[in-house]
Amino acid sequence: MKLILILILSSCMLGCVQLKAPQLENLYQKLTPEVDPLHEYAWVLTAGDYRTTVYLFNINGQQYFANDSGDIVLIKGQVITEIRQLAGLTDTIKIQDINAQLRRQLVNNTLYESQSCNAWTTNNNITYTQVCKGAEQMVSTASYKNGQMVYLKQPISYLKRFIELTKQ
């Protein structure tokens, strides 16, 4: 009886589809979506035409946005305080708030520009803006959702463009 059952199953399997290891791998990849384990920390960094994904890290109270390309942006509150290796940039840009109204941008520890900044203002507790005047008047923007920052746009005089961070 067992022999008959084995013969029937064997003959049925001859007509079945055969899958080889590469086919199984391809099928598995299509059935299981790729999930980024750091997705909840992913942000989009934009500087002019340059756009890349960075990840938010909090190390010893300092917030870093970084990726494996070497792009590094540090923030404190809702102000970018340092930019390193952005899109291959060899200069280090530091932004220092000297007091409530004076902000300095340094490039490789040399003063590039001083700015007079107004306090951050908001009409709706969702979007905040700050106007700073240096060689030009510039506006920074920060937006929040459920109390968490989801967008930051800050002009960087030395780069002559905005740095934007957008939560994915």
Q: What is the DSSP string of 19-85?
A: --HHHHHHHHHHHS----TTGGGEEEEEETTEEEEEEEEEETTEEEEE-TT--EEEEETTEEEEEES
The residue with tokens 């030009």 is 136
**What string of pLDDT tens digits covers the 168 residues of the chain?**
555 545 454 555 555 555 456 666 766 666 676 776 778 899 999 999 999 999 999 999 899 999 999 999 999 999 999 999 999 899 999 999 999 899 999 999 999 999 999 999 998 989 999 999 999 999 999 999 999 999 999 999 999 999 999 999
The residue with tokens 């840009």 is 93
Going from the N-terminus, what domains does the chain have, and what CATH number goes with each?
A: 39-167 (2.40.360.10)
